[in-house]
Structure 1
Amino acid sequence: MAMLAYEAAIIAAFFCFLYFFHRRQCCRHPLFTDFPILGMLPQLLFNLWRAHDYSTQVLKQRGGTAEFTGPWFTKMNCLVTGDPINVHHVMSKSFPNYVKGPVFREIFQAFGDGIFTADSEAWKYNRNLFHSLFKHRSFEVFLEKTIHNKVQNTLLPMLDNLQQQGRVVDLQDVFNRFTFDNICSMVLGYDPSCLSIDFPEVEIEKAFNQAEESIFYRQIVPICFWKLQKWLQIGQEKKMTEACKTLNQFIHACIASKREELNKYKENEMGEAHKDLLTALMREGKAHDDGFLRDSVFNLFVAGRDTITSALTWFFWLVATNPLVEAKILEEIKEQFETNEKMLGVLTVEEVKKLVYLHGAICEALRLFPPIPFERKLAIKADVLPSGHSVNSRTMILFSLYAMGRFEETWGKDCLEFKPERWISEKRSIVYVPSYKFIAFNAGPRTCLGKDLSFFQMKMVAAAILSNYRVQVVEGYVATPSLSIVLLMKDGLKVKITKREI
């Protein structure tokens, strides 16, 4: 009996040796401590509350690229990198070899088959379609008019009311409502008036937030775990199901209403009220079914709502906590428009192009706090990255956009400083930085189609608010990134608004 126990112990030890040897061979450049069976997941979960800063710190120690292994028998293994040369290789030079992949589409199921999850021909079709819509002059005019009216008639009067009351306000919530109204107007052609002094609760907006939180959750736990939750309809997956049901009902109702509305008009009878993207999609592609339209609308909502909210929120926090930058932005506005009397109004797209320092300040905010903090790709064939790391077929590559903005090798020893000057040349023009270094708008063929439109919107909002009001962060407030697929502030941005002296 004792002999059998002895032999069993030897066999167990042998298999343990094989297991650890296999793990060591598979993970030559570990990101975190590799625990038996559980892999590196415990260390990730333990530091989840500071996930972005912690991953940045560890990546710096590992030379910019390292491997992450999840629990045994899970599909959580990936290569994590913030090295711009690796990003350039994956996103541009070897673009055909790296795709979103089926696992990505499972995790981002709420996005359907839209442009963010699509690969190959489906992605090309979506991109060409949206490119033609965004570049259409009528849409650019419609976009500018929509933003201008929303800022002039709703945002500024609301801030004026808040400053008169002396209330503390969550500026992130304000921007969330502002961008939600804007994206509804741009995509669907109607304004839900979410931005209001009484801050109404909007079910559809809450559903979007919940879906994004659940998607983030799916990326940090084993697939088998969240799939089990989905099957049992418990926890985050129950919330995800309810959120998607609300979203689908809302979007499909809008599509049906739009079809009914368009059937009443002939094409030559459509005026300015019919320049929204849903109308354009229905007119551009007669064969587009409701499923395609639903996925397109969802993807456009995420692209044009949360990313702008994130960018504006972090921008105003950085400006409010860096008074010298604020003073330079105001000085530039005054210099450009001192005889225009538009200093206290809303500038046009052509006018905001003159605000070079403001543009640099927004780029700095996006560098330090990219709205999408992580990007992931899947290798089709085996490859070797420029950093020397081997990539097997079906290997997942995870880019930390957040870490990339904090590498001294790329941005210098002052990389943690909010310094708009790094974007401005001696001739007072914007310094060009390759997209694989400044990746806030993605890089390579998948570079964001709405990049210019986003800058116009952010500059119009920023110039209008800063010209009229001073934003002061409440004493003791600490800005903490949220755990979501979009880099928002965990507790919002609590500020007081005061009227600026003219």
Structure 2
Amino acid sequence: MAIILLYPVAIFLSFLFLYHWRWNKTSFITNWPIIGMLPGFLLNASHVHEYLTSLLKFYGGTFEFQGGWLTGIKLLITSDHMNIHHICSKNFPNYGKGRKFREIFDVLGDGIFSSDHDSWKYQRKLLQTLLKDNKFKLFFEEVVKGKVEKGLIPVLDHVSSLGIEVDLQDVFQRFTFDSVCLMVLGYDPNCLSIELPKVAHSNAFDEVEESLLYRHLVPERWWKLQRRLQIGSEKKLLHAWKVFDEFVYECISTKREEQNLVKKEQLKFNLFTAIVMEEQEGEMSSNITQSNKFLRDTTINLLAAGRDTISSGLTWFFWLVATHPSVEAKILEEIKKHLVDNDKWRVSNIDELSKLVYLHGAICETLRLFPPVPFEHKCSAKSDILPSGHYIKPKTRIIYSLYSMGRMESIWGTDCLEFRPERWISEHGGIVHVPSFKFIAFNAGARTCLGKDITFVQMKIIASAILWNYRVQVVEGHPVSPSISVILHMKHGLKVRISKRFV
């Protein structure tokens, strides 16, 4: 306890050190006695992703973060694509999520994002089977197109008719939360309506994400003491966690009752029902889904994947397109050619979306610069040597920065900071393939995101529907910067004005 109480004193002293350090041009970060490099990160916490990028550039793509004996934090941080190829693919068995990840992201339980070894293999195989099923593909298309027509369009028509500002990020979060709840649970919370109602369990998601990043920026003992005392960000996290768990367990209970009362052939398709049926009747039967805890963890992982990543990507996409008129013009030209009949937008089938090559490039370029998940964790099982030459001890915690990778000249060239969809289009008009360990937005190797294809489909449907039917103008003077969260939201939302393109 005495050591924990020294933290505030140490941080205060570190700011005194930093007063002098900030004038020192010989290095970007100083490893102080006792407190290590922690002061530099705390001082730059408000723009941590940009700060981390500057450090990685300075140190050649990889450096060891020393938190000092007082903090107990020791990490290897990298944006070197060859290191990431080695970690995610070449020596994948040596690098799992590890115990520390599961402690930090305890809200995810034992779901696919935090599990390792046999548990991870089982869950991935189960979800892979379901996402490839034609029933899911048809259901997914029905949900997304239905939510566009009955939710998104009415809301945008309403705000455009009133001429009022709207937070487009909030609209997208409502859209994706409704959609993913329908796909996973067969339940529509109707967050996306003209009234834009407050929904406690949706807002709880944001509060959890902010608190989880805080756990990355302070010593482990610090946030664990806060959790024990139920103060600060940990109090906020526990409350949000409780709110969301109540929502999920209530949905599970409802679905259980429905399955007991309704004949199997009459059950409406959703991932929850499909998971239970597949696990009980398929080749993988092991009665795991009899546990509400397993279903709770699976549900929360799927909801997190389907809500925040897509809403974040869409928000940054519309900001980039709205501030690059030439890109918008090319996308509109492509939509008119492939998705428009008599000036009316339509998507009759998903295959049509593959013709939108330039839009695909613009989405890839968005995800390159603003990956929804800005960093990933790994932990070594055995000793190893990375391609960069760094020696890895057993149980070494590794963080690779997806955000920084999109800003590395060594990967993307001297124009890496430019938003240029053309870099994704070949001379013959096709999509340029970039290895996943370079274009890392969907992770790489064995843990590559299972939802990659449906993410592109959903983003293309929403993007084409909005761009063809409306003009989106960012409110003048609106500040745009990444939030301090484990998901790359916009800190202040995206305030825009919407007007109909065709009257």
Matched, 1:429 2:430: yes
Q: Report the CA distance between 1:73 and its aligned residue.
A: 4.2
Q: Report the CA distance between 1:346 and its aligned residue.
A: 4.5
Q: Which residue of 1 is the match for residue 14 of structure 2?
A: none
Distance 2:343 2:329 in 1: 18
Q: Which residue of 2 is the match for residue 463 of structure 1?
A: 464
Matched, 1:173 2:167: no
Structure with max Cα Rg: 1
Q: Is the 8 A contact 2:28 2:58 kept in 1?
A: no
Matched, 1:97 2:98: no
- Tell me how many residue pairs correspond in the alignment: 469
Matched, 1:238 2:235: yes
Of 112, 115, 118, which aligns to 1:115? Answer: 112
Q: Is the 8 A contact 1:372 1:440 kept in 2?
A: yes
Q: Is the 8 A contact 1:152 1:346 kept in 2?
A: no
Matched, 1:336 2:338: yes
Q: Which residue of 2 is the match for residue 9 of structure 1?
A: none
SS at structure 1 position matched to 2:262 = coil
Matched, 1:496 2:497: yes
Query: What TM-score, normalized by structure 2, do the two folds share?
Result: 0.91
Aligned partner letter, 1:374: F
Aligned partner letter, 2:321: V
What residue ranges of structure 2 are gaps of 5+ in the alignment?
Answer: 1-26, 281-286
Q: Report Cα offsets for 1:211-252 as digits up to 9, x if no partner.
A: 111111111111111111111111111111111111111111
Q: Which residue of 1 is the match for residue 224 of structure 2?
A: 227
Aligned partner letter, 1:45: L
Distance 2:220 2:339 in 1: 55
Distance 1:347 1:61 in 2: 50
Distance 2:463 2:418 in 1: 20
Q: Which residue of 2 is the match for residue 323 of structure 1?
A: 325
Over the matched positions of the two proteins, sequence identity in percent amounts to 56
Q: Is the 8 A contact 2:482 2:489 kept in 1?
A: yes
Distance 1:31 1:431 in 2: 36
Q: Which residue of 1 is the match for residue 186 of structure 2?
A: 189
Q: Report the CA distance between 1:320 and its aligned residue.
A: 0.2
Q: Which residue of 2 is the match for residue 301 of structure 1?
A: 303
Query: What TM-score, normalized by structure 1, do the two folds share?
Result: 0.92
TM-align CA RMSD: 1.2
Quickly say closer, same or farther: Cα 1:460–1:347, change in 2 above 3 A.
Answer: farther
Distance 2:435 2:502 in 1: 40
Distance 2:83 2:348 in 1: 40
Distance 1:427 1:152 in 2: 35
Q: Is the 8 A contact 1:383 1:390 kept in 2?
A: yes
What residue ranges of structure 1 are gaps of 5+ in the alignment?
Answer: 1-29
Distance 2:87 2:339 in 1: 44
Q: Which residue of 1 is the match for residue 211 of structure 2?
A: 214
Q: Which residue of 2 is the match for residue 290 of structure 1?
A: 292
Q: Which residue of 1 is the match for residue 270 of structure 2?
A: 276
Aligned partner letter, 2:314: L
Q: Is the 8 A contact 2:178 2:192 kept in 1?
A: yes
Distance 1:224 1:206 in 2: 28
Aligned partner letter, 2:397: M
Q: Which residue of 2 is the match for residue 441 of structure 1?
A: 442
Aligned partner letter, 1:211: V
Q: Report the CA distance between 1:161 and its aligned residue.
A: 1.0
**Superposed counterparts of 1:4-403, under 5 Å:** 32-270=29-267, 274-286=268-280, 287=287, 288=289, 289-338=291-340, 340-341=341-342, 343-346=344-347, 348-403=349-404
Quickly say closer, same or farther: Cα 1:356–1:347, change in 2 above 3 A.
Answer: farther
Q: Report the CA distance between 1:32 and its aligned residue.
A: 2.2
Distance 2:462 2:362 in 1: 14
Q: Is the 8 A contact 1:31 1:67 kept in 2?
A: no
Q: Is the 8 A contact 2:35 2:71 kept in 1?
A: no
Q: Report Cα offsets for 1:186-210 as digits up to 9, x if no partner.
A: 0110111100111100000111111
